[in-house]
Structure 1
Amino acid sequence: MDKKFIFKMIQNCFKQYYAKSENLPLSKDDYEELYERIVLIKEQQPEAELHEIINDSVYEFITG
């Protein structure tokens, strides 16, 4: 999967939660962790929509 595309989707998803903040609460390591989690889930569930996987992963990341 295209890493830049997934990073952009992660950023857009975070903007839903942090609309007023220009700086998103993510480090490079956080992006990598989310990316790896998303790729793993997509491999395990190939029928799942990428958009849904990203939304679920970001929500889980935020809520801990």
Structure 2
Amino acid sequence: MEEKWLRKLIRNCFLQYGYDNESLPLNNEEWKQLCAKILAKKTDDGDMDLYEIVHDVIYDYITK
């Protein structure tokens, strides 16, 4: 899966949670970690929709 597209999904999810492009709380390492978590969860649960996985991972990130 292309990382650029996955980053766009993550960014859009943060926008839905009230962040804007300037206030995204991620450094480069955190971007990579979130992408890795999403891909791992997609591999583990292939039946789950990718958008749902992204929202679950971002929600966990924001609330912890």
| Identity percentage of aligned residues | 36
Instruction: State the partner residue of 2:40.
Output: 40
Gapped runs of 5+ residues in structure 2?
Answer: none
Scaled by the length of structure 1, the TM-score of the pair is 0.90
Q: CA–CA distance in 2 between the matches of 1:28 and 1:52?
A: 23
Any idea what the Cα deviations from partners look like across 1:17-52, whole Å, max 9, x if unmatched? 234563211111111110000000000011110000
| Contact in 2 for aligned 1:37/1:57 (Cα 8 Å) | yes
Q: CA–CA distance in 1 between the matches of 2:44 and 2:58?
A: 18
Question: How many residue pairs are counted as aligned between the two chains?
Answer: 64
Higher mean Cα deviation, 2-11 or 13-22? Answer: 13-22
Q: CA–CA distance in 2 between the matches of 1:6 and 1:39?
A: 9
The 1:20/1:37 distance shift into structure 2, 3 A limit, reads closer
Scaled by the length of structure 2, the TM-score of the pair is 0.90
Aligned Cα RMSD in Å? Answer: 1.4
| Contact in 2 for aligned 1:18/1:24 (Cα 8 Å) | no
| Contact in 1 for aligned 2:14/2:20 (Cα 8 Å) | no
Opposite residue 4 of structure 1, the aligned amino acid is: K
> Once superposed, which parts of structure 1, at least 4 consecutive aligned residues long, lie more than 6 Å away?
none
